[in-house]
C-alpha cells in the first residue's frame, strides 16, 4: 500500500542549527510529495511540494528533494529559528487522497 514514514520526534535544536527531518515513502506509481507544517493551535499549512523525481521544493528556507531511487523526501533547513517550532508532516498524494506520516515535533530553543 501507500505509506509515509517519518523520523520520530521530538527533535530539539538550538537556534541557527541545521535541521534534517527524514521522510521515506512507499507507493505504487509516482506520487506527488508534500511537507506540511502545523503551528501550535492551528491547522496544517503547505510548506513545500514536489511533483516528480528530482524536483526540489523550497519555501521559507526549507528544502526537500524528491529522490525516486531512495524513495525519500527529507526536509532540510540551514539555520532554524524559534519560530520554526511546530509539527512537520510529510505526505504523499495518490487517488485524490493525501496520506500523512506520523508527524515530527520540532522544538527550537533560543
Partner 1 sequence: DTAVSQTPKYLVTQMGNDKSIKCEQNLGHDTMYWYKQDSKKFLKIMFSYNNKELIINETVPNRFSPKSPDKAHLNLHINSLELGDSAVYFCASSRYSGGSPEAFFGQGTRLTVV
Q: Using CB under 8 A, list all residues that contact partner 1.
A: 32, 34, 36, 38, 42-46, 49, 51, 87, 89, 93, 96-100, 102-103, 105
- Rounded CA-CA distance 30/45 in Å is 23
16/53 with CB nearer partner 1: 53
Q: Least distance from C-beta 69 to partner 1, angstroms?
A: 20
CA distances from 34 to 13, 49, 65, 86, 106 (A): 23, 4, 10, 16, 17
DSSP 4: E
18/103 with CB nearer partner 1: 103
15/60 with CB nearer partner 1: 60
Q: Least distance from C-beta 99 to partner 1, angstroms?
A: 8
Amino acid at each position: 500500500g501507500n505509506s509515509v514514514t517519518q523520523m520520530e520526534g521530538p527533535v530539539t535544536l538550538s537556534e541557527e542549527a541545521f535541521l534534517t527531518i527524514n521522510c521515506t515513502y512507499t507507493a505504487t506509481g509516482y506520487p506527488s510529495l508534500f511537507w506540511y507544517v502545523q503551528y501550535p493551535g492551528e491547522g496544517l499549512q503547505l510548506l513545500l511540494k514536489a511533483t516528480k523525481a528530482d524536483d526540489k521544493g523550497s519555501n521559507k528556507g526549507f528544502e526537500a528533494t524528491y529522490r525516486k531511487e531512495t524513495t525519500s523526501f527529507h526536509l532540510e533547513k540551514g539555520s532554524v529559528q524559534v519560530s520554526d517550532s511546530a509539527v512537520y508532516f510529510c505526505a504523499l498524494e495518490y487517488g485524490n487522497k493525501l496520506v500523512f506520516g506520523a508527524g515530527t515535533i520540532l522544538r527550537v530553543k533560543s
